[in-house]
Structure 1
Amino acid sequence: MGLLRYIFRRGGKKAGTDNPVGRIKILRTYGEGTGLRAEIIDGLVYPGYRLSRKKRVPIRRLRMEGRDVDFAVEGDTVDVSLEGELNAEPGDTLEVYIV
């Protein structure tokens, strides 16, 4: 098995648009549903990935401790800027999908 396949394996499932690559828990919402404070429960999150509730909304930007970051991993708490409105409440758990 190649190194990248080993790193990015998801329990026998291939990463893609139909399989979630991570989950986040919403801690706080702001900006009329276009901004979230969230904890990464599992997986890896990049800008450009999509959060799913009833529809999939792209992630525009991730910020951690006041700085833009390229990605977030399990256990990180980040501010997430979205490209659209996501009707979610604090305490909700959302799945993350690759575009």
Structure 2
Amino acid sequence: MLDRPAYLEQTVRLLDDPRPDVVRSAVRTLAHGGWTPAVPDLVGLLADGRPAVRRAAADGLVLLGDAALPALRHAAGRARPDRRRLYASLTDRIAAAP
């Protein structure tokens, strides 16, 4: 049986799964587990070609809260102008969260 950190580290591997339902489940597990080492991977999923995966990643980052802000700001600074709005909206959602 795996301990919590080992379980969450293994869950990160599922973010590369080709099945969107598996990826969404992994995102939820990592976000609810507060696994901040996954933040860069979740930010990367914001550019995924599958809308359900993008939504799950966005919701997961909001759930992770302040821990996601540096990675979101970094991604916004490197993003194409037409993508920056996404990162700004997520930072706003995090700031507005209780």
TM-score class normalised by the smaller sequence: under 0.3
TM-score, structure 2 as length reference: 0.27
TM-score, structure 1 as length reference: 0.27
Could you say which structure has the higher strand fraction? 1
Could you say which structure has the higher helix fraction? 2
Q: Which has the higher contact order (CA 8 A, sep 6+)?
A: 1
